[in-house]
Amino acid sequence: MSDRSANQPAGRGEAETAAPATAGGGVRNPTMPRFYRRLDLATVLGLGVGLTLVVGALALGGSVGAFFDLPSTLIVLGGTVAITAISFSPPDLRAALGAIGRTMVANALDVRSAANAALSLAEHARRHGALSLQPLLRTTRGWPVMHRAVELIVDGLPADDAERILRTEIDSNMARARMASAVLRRAAEVAPAMGLIGTLVGLVQMLGSLSNPSAIGPAMAVALITTFYGAILGSMVLAPLAAKIDRNADRDALIDGLFLLAAGSVARQENPRRLEMLINTVLPPDLRISNYD
């Protein structure tokens, strides 16, 4: 997944639309989305509520402090990081950390707004010429593929070349996102295994103190804490984050594909009505646009 920096402050729940600017000769630019990032409440609240419920259940059932053990934490966290690092390169690990941050703060651009923006580009280019889109190069930097599509339209590249360039960029973004999710999925697999290893270590230590029956119960409880940590880390944190990265990557690829269609349509000088039909073939039924109805 590519880093999509925002140039507007967060402050609303949905993507806004910028007021049309006036280009040279009195021609107004098409209405384009305004880019900013907002807190992804689904991710933040999901993680927060899930962990809070677990802690609350522990508090209702007894002492929460009994579930905190430093050696168990070191085995699960340290072991998970170490084994995951063996499976991937340092750049892959850094990309995964960046992807986790982006799942917490999402781009505020919805699919319908992107579809309308792509169609608006084609309509404007048909009426006023591709060069009239040049002022948009300054206002579309918040979404790299949209910016590249506008750039290719203004440069007048042939349709096949423009589509190939955009498709390559989309595929690269998707590959980076898939790699980040693969890192987290691997960590989600390793965490329960490290919990089991920690439990075995604790059981061996417990069996070594069978001469003291009063120590067996507490030792068994400590041994099982590592399994608890591994299950929580893998099933409640890492696996859901990996799924969210995949979901965001699919959504971004859908939006990027709309601008690929727009760039190809403008390069071929097609009727925007045909572009609308193409866009609606890739959109879910509830998100389809109907500007020509």
- Per cent of the chain over pLDDT 90 is 40
CA distances from 71 to 68, 147, 190, 202, 279 (A): 9, 50, 17, 10, 55
**In-domain check, residue 165:** yes
Buried residues in 247-256 as b, exposed as e (16+ CB within 10 A): ebbebbbbbb
How many domains does the chain divide into?
A: 1
Q: Please state, in angstroms and rounded to a whole number, the distance separating the CA atoms of residues 19 and 139.
A: 11
Give the long-range contacts of residues 123-131, CB within 8 A, separation 24 or more: 123/30, 123/272, 124/29, 124/30, 125/153, 125/266, 126/266, 126/269, 126/271, 126/272, 128/23, 128/27, 130/154, 130/156, 130/266
Identify the pLDDT of residue 35. 63
CA distances from 247 to 105, 190, 209, 250 (A): 14, 22, 49, 5
- Per DSSP bridges, beta strands 37-39 and 105-107 are antiparallel
Identify the pLDDT of residue 106. 72
Identify the pLDDT of residue 256. 92
Q: What is the DSSP letter of 28?
A: B
**In-domain check, residue 125:** yes
- Mapped onto helix, strand or coil, the DSSP state of residue 63 is coil
Beta bridge partners of 33: 17
Identify the pLDDT of residue 231. 93
The torsion angles phi and psi of 28, rounded to 5 degrees, stand at -90, 135
Per-residue pLDDT averaged across 200-212, rounded? 79
pLDDT(257) > 90: yes
Q: Please state, in angstroms and rounded to a whole number, the distance separating the CA atoms of residues 21 and 198.
A: 62
Identify the pLDDT of residue 28. 56
For 133-186, write each residue's pLDDT tens digit: 888 888 888 788 888 999 999 998 899 999 999 999 999 999 999 999 999 999
Instruction: Identify which of 128, 96, 100, 157 has the alpha carbon closest to the alpha carbon of residue 25.
Output: 128
- What pLDDT band is residue 32 in, cutting at 50, 70 and 90? low
For 82-123, write each residue's pLDDT tens digit: 999 999 999 999 999 999 988 888 766 788 888 988 998 899
**In-domain check, residue 96:** yes
Per-residue pLDDT averaged across 7-29, rounded? 42
Q: Please state, in angstroms and rounded to a whole number, the distance separating the CA atoms of residues 47 and 64.
A: 19
pLDDT(1) > 70: no
- Per cent of the chain over pLDDT 70 is 85
pLDDT(196) > 80: yes
> Letter for the amino acid at 102?
R
**In-domain check, residue 30:** no
**In-domain check, residue 291:** no
Identify the pLDDT of residue 236. 93
Does pTM surpass 0.85?
no
Q: Please state, in angstroms and rounded to a whole number, the distance separating the CA atoms of residues 66 and 59.
A: 10
The domain in which residue 274 lies consists of 79-283
CA distances from 218 to 16, 65, 87, 204, 227 (A): 57, 13, 36, 14, 15
How high does pLDDT run on average in the chain?
A: 83
Identify the pLDDT of residue 2. 41
Read off the tokens for 243: 């799924």
- What pLDDT band is residue 23 in, cutting at 50, 70 and 90? very low
**In-domain check, residue 183:** yes
DSSP per residue, 217-283 = HHHHHHHHHHHHHHHIIIIIIIHHHHHHHHHHHHHHHHHHHHHHHHHHHHHTT--HHHHHHHHHHHS
Question: Can you tell me which residue has the tokens 């955009």?
Answer: 166
The residue ranking higher by pLDDT, 101 or 215, is 101
**In-domain check, residue 5:** no
Read off the tokens for 21: 């600017």
